[in-house]
Amino acid sequence: MANTTGRKTISNIDCMVVEPAGSSFETLICLHGIGGDHASFQPQLEGLTDTLRVVVWNMPGYGESESLSPLTFETLAKTLKDLIAELDCGPVHIMGQSIGGMIAQELYHCYPQLLKSLILVATTTAFGGKDDTFRKAFLEARLKPLENGHTMREIAQESMPAIVGKNTESAVVRSAVDSMAAVKSDVYQEVLKCLITFNRRNEWASVSCPVLLIAGSADTNAPAATMKKMSDNLSHAEFYEIEGAGHLVNLERGDEVNAVTQRFISRVVS
């Protein structure tokens, strides 16, 4: 029997779902970054579905997903909780990249009973430093191109090549640009404003489920050294650094991320 693949609306969220043949499998939910969408996890949709049901959401406001008002980490976690409830599959594994990893952490801190494991890719426990200086500068720098009349595709064409590893295949860069170009500019602005509020630094040590952290050695947004420190602060966390990968680790180096993820989930389940 072949896998079943489909675009589905689950609890008002537009998702890509691939289910393996048979009736007994674990569920992995993947959460993309600000400039992404379900296509950001295409390597996982193709490579992890022999034994896992893989669900990739388009976060609220992306794709055909309904927007959220207000858009906060709390409301995003609540939306994800509702999606998991509608899937009716019990505790799940969550893979989150960049802001997706922050949403995954927020879900854990609000609803820990819903998770079997956390797989955090190119993300951190808080945005920026301990004062507002960096946050303000970050937001202003990213909103300015829109204020100057640039389109999302123009912004994507400039920003996406800058955040991947230097040897990333051109097809991967084109896919990333297409995903970001499809983001509505008003949604992009709201998600940026949400991003800079994230801070679960003080709660990180309380995470008790199994955790896998995956970093790219060339990532300057969520540096590998920062993620290694996160791992060192949890006795039950595993850390894996992918040499040469940038911020879009799971898209850039899908085969390697898939292999690490499969081994990790197998250990968690057994």
Average pLDDT by consecutive 10-residue portion of the chain (270 residues)? 82 95 88 98 95 96 97 98 93 98 98 98 91 90 96 98 97 98 98 97 97 98 97 96 98 98 96
**Who's near 111: CB < 8 A, 6+ residues apart?**
77, 81
Domains belonging to the chain, first-starting first, are 4-269 (3.40.50.1820)
CA distances from 256 to 13, 178, 221 (A): 29, 23, 20
What are the b/e assignments for 108-129, b being 16+ CB within 10 Å?
bbeeeebbbbbbbbbbbbbbbe
Predicted pLDDT of residue 90 = 81
Check whether the bond before 70 is cis (ω within 30° of 0): yes
DSSP-derived secondary structure letter, 9: E
Predicted pLDDT of residue 29 = 98
Cβ–Cβ < 8 Å for 135, 196: yes
The span from the CA of 239 to the CA of 138, in Å, is 28
Task: Write out pLDDT tens, residues 161-171.
Answer: 999 999 999 99
Taking the whole predicted model, whether its pTM rises above 0.95 is answered as yes
